[in-house]
Amino acid sequence: DRRRDSPAAGSPIQPIIKDVGEIYSRLLDHRPVIQGEIRYFVKEFEEKRGLRELRVLENLKNTIFETNERVLPKCEQAMQDNLSETLKRLQAANAMMHRLQERECEARKLQADKVMAREEKCIADCEEFMKEQQKKRAEVDEEHRKAMERLKEQYSEMEKELAKYASF
């Protein structure tokens, strides 16, 4: 009834309006195409990707289980064995280093004692040498004093003798 009431119901414009509506829905209304693509993508994703993801997750679960049950205990045991062996070696090396340090310390102490003994001996020799030099100096001074006295006496006698001859 309504179409009949509309002014274009019996007119030649009606097919044009219908064609324009069809063109609009085909060219400009993309909702049916997009919805079809979305349905196709979801279907493909659920069928192909979903199974692949399940396989990947299952493989991960198996790998984790195997790692927890087999690999991890083996690694722990190997680590414990190697660490205890390494610890023993390190303790032995530490003990050897400690002994070497003690020997080196003793050798340094002996060397220092020898140096101190040499220094003390050198100081004692130096003091003895200085005392000896003092004695020799005193002897030389004494000899010099005596020689001076002899020379004074000799010169005074020579003066007296000269005085005898000077009266001529």
* pLDDT tens sequence across 42-53: 787 777 766 777
The share of the chain scoring above pLDDT 90, in percent, equals 42
pLDDT at 36 over 70: yes
Under 8 Å between Cβ of 14 and 8: yes
Q: What is the pLDDT of residues 89-130, one digit of tens each?
A: 999 999 999 999 999 999 999 999 999 999 999 999 999 999
pLDDT at 60 over 70: yes
Instruction: Note the residue count of the chain.
Output: 168
Alpha-carbon span 36 to 44, nearest angstrom: 12
Confidence of residue 3 (pLDDT cuts 50, 70, 90): very low
pLDDT at 2 over 50: no
Neighbours of 155 (CB within 10 A): 11
pTM of the predicted protein model: 0.37
pLDDT computed for residue 9 by the predictor = 53
pLDDT at 151 over 70: yes
